[in-house]
Structure 1
């Protein structure tokens, strides 16, 4: 499985640096996407340029703009009064939009979880609406400066004034659209769909046709004295692992004729000095070992937050949090949890049709150089369904829906490990049902669904 080129090439260092730079750039883009200020700031810059440019063109080429404008035909003094009023009104409108946004974020944090604030803030349409409000403020401000700097005997820039008036008029309808959109954004259905869409994008990006489908190919090629004679790999700082440059590690290990094992993956919170792997083939304390340790340490990006750069469970955790909160006694919203199960099942079906790298990476000569922990479909199935199952204990409608979706997923699951995890979930659901049988009136129906799911998974019934 040739994945990389030898790292002793004179271009290896720039290539490695470029890969790490791209990973950090992707993390930065994800952080910017969750910020509420960037898009409105671009709108403000755009409206400033358009307003100032239109005024400059109107002054430089009066013969083009000599026709009277229907939207405004008054004097400069009239325009000053109107623009001052419009500027105050647009500031009030922008303040209102920010207040509404804060209310929506508060609702999302209390009902769906504080980590879902980032998803709500990432909504592009909300940023566009706010950008229109702030852009109109900038246009009114620029026009105010222009009108106060003009002499009484100079011609009135009617086209520029008409443009600003038109922008303000359009913002009246933008406000209506903003209120409609923000009302939909705080609904659980919209948030669940948005998070599941992010999960699908992460699956499409990370679940590529790399690695191999052979499930037995794990650590069989590691030397028996790997840890005894190896050099420990320790983290440089505390924080969440956002990205590991596996190709970079393979190239550096191939150059040193070494073998590397990394026992953590993206999404793991590590502590500075924590041992997270081993290097075999170099002697501890030598310059060669220190160089390789520095290269591998530089290939691991660590920061204070988790990102979906390499973390398949990032969006899964958000979906699970919505379901668990919905099933809590304080909220008790079973239908939201059912919708989470629906969206999550669709994402799992898409994941089952792809190949997730198994964590065994080779150089271009086919020599295994790196063994890394990876998050497979079976891990995601267990971490998601198990938490929802525990929260749904005593809620037969959610439990029955989970069993129905497990039966559907059985036709998509190709790997034995995945089917085994699904079978374990069915067994665990039935054990939960036995503990709550005194309060369940439709136990027979759920038992029937469990039997059908087990048969679809090529297992035995629950009897």
Structure 2
């Protein structure tokens, strides 16, 4: 049952990030609702409403056709314009910030829902149009269906106004950074809470001589059903070590699984079915992507073609908060079931993560004194944060030393060098 649930969850996470997901649902809903209304009209729904509130219903078939046709043409124009705006947003975000931002923008539910409202209303109006007879009298017209078509069109106009407002906000860098920050914090806090619930000591056996098994798929190692694998381990009296961290891009026949006991093909197949691969990355599945995205935003902002140090400074502020939260997480990840540790998962260690981020930023920003000062302040803040591992602070101090050395070799003015030395002297 766990495998079925995991596969369903993996499939859902894949399709919900697709821009056509919600529009497709609304389209199906509009189609079904249109035929439901046709059925209810055949049972005399409009006649009942006409007797009670005649002012709300159209009394002439030609008038009804004209109204629905006008609504339909306007909605198609709105939908085309809205899709064009979405494509423009994606293009600008890719060129100005980072192509890695596209999956997150595409999966924005607000854009998908608004486009879905358009599409569902258009399909409803089309099939309602078929049920109207030109020249029909008021007692033979689907008056309720026409009234609903008008109401749905008004809702689309309201949604279009909100869409324009939301689009103007979505393209702003502060909104993009906020979204990345919130998604990464949610994911990190979820992982930290799980670690707190499982008080696991680092007594996992040495895996160097364990049986090694290889990946059967290409793609990003996106997610894993730890409960399902732990159940397999418990049933077969073994322990598993996943040798690659989440978010890694794996090729076929690369070492992925180590087992304390030898596994047959059937058990291996069950384990592989509990691991999902994809061609894209989402922060909700892998918080490391947030560090990559913010780093690329900083590098893009500091490139000669963009030259926007303000954006780089904002991104460093967000990086500082996420790094501080990451220091509350262990470097090693385990999974416990029935008070027994069955699974160990390789993770990107804090020192490695900090180095990867700082190495990229140093290369492109060491010439800018303001950015270097901001990075020093970030590292000083991290150094005074409570950490689960003393090695975290050692890694921070090492990055400070490397950054200062690189910056001093780059600066040409004595004042910049003096300010930097004084700032580091307070470390």
Contact 2:59-2:137 within 8 A present in 1 as well: no
Greater share of helix residues, 1 or 2? 2
Q: Is the 8 A contact 1:263 1:372 kept in 2?
A: yes
Aligned partners of 1:125, 1:310: CA distance in 2, in Å? Answer: 20
Deviation, structure 1 residue 369: 4.7
Give 1:234's match in structure 2, choosing from 214, 227, 245: 214
Which piece of structure 1 moves more, 37-46 or 251-260? 251-260
Is it true that 1:35 corresponds to 2:8 in the alignment? no
Partner residue of 1:145?
130
What's the counterpart of residue 94 of structure 1?
79
1:255-280 C-alpha deviation (Å, 9 max, x unpaired): 44445433212112222122335434
Q: What are the superposed Cα offsets for residues 27-62 of structure 1, whole Å, 9 maximum, x if unpaired?
A: 323222321112122233344455554565455242
Q: Deviation string for 1:90-118 (max 9, x for gaps)?
A: 11111111111111111111112222111
- Whether contact under 8 Å (1:239, 1:302) holds in the other structure is yes
1:385-425 Cα shifts (integer Å, max 9, x gaps): 33223332112222212222222233333121211121122
- Specify the SS of the correspondent of 2:326: helix
CA distance change for structure 1 residues 102 and 281 in 2, over 3 Å: closer, same or farther?
closer
Aligned to 1:241, the other structure's residue is in SS state strand
Deviations 1:310-329 (A, max 9, x none): 53312322222222222222
Structure 2 CA distance for aligned equivalents of residues 130 and 235 of structure 1: 39
Is the contact made by 1:243 and 1:309 (CA closer than 8 Å) also made in structure 2?
Answer: no
Matched, 1:442 2:409: no
Q: Paired residue for 1:160, among 145, 149, 161?
A: 145
Q: Secondary structure of 1:243's partner?
A: strand
Unaligned runs of 5+ in 1: 1-13, 283-287, 455-463
- Structure 1 residue 238 displacement after superposition: 2.3
Using the alignment, how far apart are the partners of 1:157 and 1:245 within structure 2?
52
- Residue 284 of structure 2 is aligned to residue 312 of structure 1: no
Please tell me the root mean square deviation across aligned C-alpha atoms, in Å: 3.0
SS, match of residue 220 in structure 2: strand
Pair 1:60 & 2:44 matched: yes
Tell me if structure 2 keeps the 8 A contact 1:267–1:307.
Answer: no
Q: Which of 369, 372, 377 is the equivalent residue of 1:396?
A: 369
Counterpart Cα distance in 2 of 1:36 and 1:389:
36
Cα distance change, pair 309–198 in 1 and its aligned pair in 2 (3 A): closer
Q: Which residue of 2 aligns with 1:78?
A: 63
Which aligned pairs between 1:5-16 and structure 2 lie closer than 5 A? 14=1
Equivalences for residues 283-362 of structure 1 within 5 A: 289-308=264-283, 311-353=286-328, 355-356=329-330, 358-361=332-335
Structure 1 residues 325, 23: CA separation in 2 closer, same or farther (over 3 Å shift)? farther
Structure 1 Cα separation of the partners of residues 143 and 133 of structure 2? 15
Deviation per CA, 1:58-78, whole angstroms, max 9, x where unpaired?
Answer: 552423442455566451112
Whether 1:384 and 2:370 are equivalent positions in the alignment is no
Aligned residues: 422
Secondary structure of the corresponding residue to residue 307 of structure 2: coil
Distance 1:24 1:333, change over 3 A: farther
Q: How much has 1:296 moved relative to structure 2?
A: 3.6
Match of 2:111 in 1: 126
Higher mean displacement: 35-44 or 86-95? 35-44
- Cα deviation, residue 152, structure 1: 4.9
Residue in structure 1 matching 2:192, options 175, 190, 207: 207
Question: Which of 117, 126, 140 is matched with 2:102 structurally?
Answer: 117
Contact 1:392 1:398 in 2 (8 A): yes
Q: CA 1:437–1:171 in 2, change beyond 3 Å: closer, same or farther?
A: same
Q: Matches of 2:267 and 2:129 in 1, distance apart? A: 62
Asked if structure 2 preserves the Cα contact closer than 8 Å seen for 1:212 and 1:358, the reply is no
TM-score w.r.t. length of structure 1: 0.80
